[in-house]
Amino acid sequence: MKYLSLIISLSLFFLFTDQLQAQHDHSQHKPGSEVKNTAEAASGLTETFVVYGNCGMCKRTIEKAAKSVAGVQSAIWDSETDMITVQYDAAKAKLGDIKKAIAASGYDTDAFRAPDEAYNGLPGCCQYDRPEKAQAETATTATSAITETFTVYGNCGMCKRTIEKAAKGVDGVQSATWDADAAKVTVTYDSGKVKLETIKKAIAASGYDTDAFRASDDAYKALPGCCQYDRPEN
């Protein structure tokens, strides 16, 4: 009898445990939960676009402005490329609203120009070289925008700033990023406003040889010592 009572008790215990587990599993898989999760995943988007700036302080301000928009999940700005990557819920936020919020904080984007008052209110180290015009998101701009990569000789971070500034100073150039290791610059520009040849000439005029135009000797010699790169033969 003693053993029979023990067996019955154990059987009731395992039966009760199985029932609890079944109730738990049912609560974790309520009808419609899979649909909700799928919908949430579908509404998540990741976009990358240009935001002009300089330093770590710019990075904090730009990312904070982007994250202030309801629905933005993350924002990471790269000072080397002037590009920001944002993840957001498309059901809650629009890309245009994110760009507007960043521009309102003082930083020009590829679509919206910051108010002059906001730009002038930035700390001195954050007052980046502004593009001539903010590029509007229009069908015309989209179809005429071209990205090209070509050789520009140089050495250091100071060279990078000068080369990119020279390229961005040309009306119609939207972005310019020079890679010191590869001695290459990548420019995005409006082909309806400017020719690639004009951009290369502007860079050469600042003292840096390109694959098509040689800087004048005077411009080259005027560069700081650390920027006087080894010039190609021709």
pLDDT tens digits for range 188-217: 988 888 999 999 999 999 999 999 999 999
In this structure, of 159-168, 190-199, 217-226, the range with the lowest mean pLDDT score is 190-199
pLDDT for 83 beyond 50: yes
Q: How confident is the model at residue 164 (pLDDT cuts 50, 70, 90)?
A: very high
Token pair for 143: 């179809």
pLDDT for 96 beyond 60: yes
Pick from 59, 50, 203, 223: nearest CA to 125? 59
pTM of the model: 0.44
Residues 6 or more apart in contact with residue 78 via CB below 8 angstroms: 84, 85
Residue 160: count other Cβ atoms within 10 Å of its Cβ: 20
Check residues 145 and 82 and name the one with the higher pLDDT: 82
In this structure, of 6-15, 116-125, 143-152, 177-186, the range with the lowest mean pLDDT score is 6-15
- Best mean pLDDT range from 123-127, 129-133, 191-195: 123-127
Q: What pLDDT sits at residue 138?
A: 38
Report, in this order, helix, strand and coil percent for the chain, each rounded to 5.
45, 20, 35
- Cα separation of the two ends of the chain: 106
Q: What pLDDT sits at residue 221?
A: 96
Q: What pLDDT sits at residue 146?
A: 86
Pick from 71, 65, 77, 72: nearest CA to 101? 65
Reported as half-sphere exposure (CB side, CA atoms, 13 A), residue 42 has a value of: 6
Check residues 133 and 38 and name the one with the higher pLDDT: 133
φ, ψ of residue 21 in degrees (nearest 5): -65, -40
Residues 6 or more apart in contact with residue 161 via CB below 8 angstroms: none
| Mean pLDDT, rounded, of the chain | 83
Residues in the chain: 234
Q: How far apart, in whole angstroms, are the C-alpha atoms of residue 101 and residue 121? A: 16
pLDDT in tens, 25-69: 544 444 444 444 444 444 688 999 999 999 999 999 999 999 999
Q: How confident is the model at residue 157 (pLDDT cuts 50, 70, 90)?
A: very high
